[in-house]
Amino acid sequence: MNLTISGHHLDVSPALRAYVLAKLDRVLRHVDQVIHVKVLLSTHNEAQKDGRQRAECSILVKGNALHAGSKHFDLYAAIDELADKLDRLVLSHKTRTKGWRCTPTKHAVAAFAAPESTLSFA
């Protein structure tokens, strides 16, 4: 797995890098085949103070690319929000790729669990 953490208009400190890695570790435990993860942390000079700090992430999984982004006044809060979004996105991707045919239905389980019929062929 390749991991890229970069900053746009800000320097990524070792503490910030460790915080991002801790949050991504929580998200990536759900996925087996991760090819590349790219995290972009940026600061924008906007009129709205709520959206100045942004965190964006792209996860390339076998067969798909998952993207999420978040913006907040505090960069650490934006990373927390991004981790929550990625967690939901990864779980949704996992259930979609697993498919609905993999889980047995109630009727199929009941049919296999039912006792043999008492009919005799004599």
pLDDT, one tens digit per residue, over 65-115 is: 999 999 998 999 999 999 999 999 998 888 887 766 655 556 555 555 555
Question: For residue 118, what pLDDT is reported?
Answer: 54
Which of residues 47 and 28 earns the better pLDDT score?
28
Question: For residue 109, what pLDDT is reported?
Answer: 56
Helix (H, G, I), strand (E, B) or coil at 1: coil
Q: What is the DSSP letter of 2?
A: E
3-state secondary structure 41-63: EEECCCCCHHHCEEEEEEEEECC
Sheet holding 34-43, edge to edge: 2-8, 34-43, 53-61, 64-72
- What average pLDDT is seen over the chain? 83
Q: What is the DSSP letter of 29?
A: T
